[in-house]
A and B are shown apart, each in its own frame.
Chain A
Amino acid sequence: MSEVKIRNEGAPVFGDLYLTKLMASTYDAKHEMIEALLAAIMKEHPYIEIDEALIRLVLDEALVNSIKHGNKYDVSKNVTVKFFGDEKRWGISITDEGEGIALEDIIPIDNANEEMLDHGRGVLLMSELMSEVRYYDSGRTLWMTLDHPRKGFGDPVPIKVSDDIPELGESD
């Protein structure tokens, strides 16, 4: 499980930026976004025995938080989603247009229990299933990555590495 921190700067993109997409703050838009992201993940980082349900779950938790806690269901506000990756890992950043969050809003990770709030459980799930979860832009951007081989998502197949070294984007 990765430690979750909130940083003030903008979120980095590493490797190739495969997809940038705006999402309205509605659950219908969320369903469409999950399908688009799943298709892109399968295309750019294909695996055998992929556990699609767990990827759906992680995406669902992240997008629901941006709609519910970030934009507070304000349909005039959007969510910007980026999907990127290189030969070692892939990542997703999800940026809402809300006021940001404080660390105490998201952290009760060591105290998982019956009384935990839903979004606390959501962050806990993302932290357990992904390799790294961070917040940027004072909490407006959720940034998460999954290393190869993926933990919790079934057995990976060998990663195809291109002969050409890809130009790296901004990296942290």
Chain B
Amino acid sequence: MATKPAPKVNTQSVGDVTVIYFSQKRMLLDESNIQAIYDELINISQKEYKPKLVLDLANVQYLSSAVIGKLVAFNKTLAQDKGQIKLCAVQAGVMKVFKITKLDKIFKFFADQDSAVKSYK
């Protein structure tokens, strides 16, 4: 079986907010692809001054503890640059992972991209 290609990370600017999303359906974020995604998130955040980010997880079917660890690390790096990341469109199973690990208190969640973007205003 061939190694899975790194998932494509897409971005869209809405005013001064950068929305990050995955166009591939039913994404499985795990140990095997999180480093590539993390590097891409760092790359995106470094293009902005005090980055305002929205991460749309609508197409993410599950994320593992390794991915959560990377998101926590990314959140800390962003905070040092006075940036923020807000999560939106999180599926129920994925939300359950955030709740079990008690990281639902660390991140801010929104129902969809629109409400997440508006929260920056």
Interface residues on A, range: 20 to 34
The reply on A61 being an interface residue by CB < 8 A is yes
Q: Which residue on chain A has the smallest CB distance to residue B67?
A: A118
The reply on A53 being an interface residue by CB < 8 A is yes
A114 partner residues in chain B, CB cutoff 8 A:
72, 103, 106
A113 to B105, CA, bound (A): 9
Known: A27-B32, A119-B65, A122-B64. A54 touches B101 (CB 8 A): no
The reply on A147 being an interface residue by CB < 8 A is no
A121 partner residues in chain B, CB cutoff 8 A:
65, 68-69, 101
* Interface size of B in residues (CB-CB distance below 8 Å): 26
Known: A27-B32, A112-B102, A114-B103. 14 other contacts (CB 8 A): A53-B93, A54-B93, A54-B96, A56-B62, A57-B93, A61-B65, A68-B31, A116-B101, A118-B68, A118-B69, A121-B69, A122-B64, A124-B65, A124-B100
B residues in contact (CB < 8 Å) with A:
1-4, 28, 30-32, 61-62, 64-66, 68-69, 72, 91, 93-94, 96-97, 100-103, 106
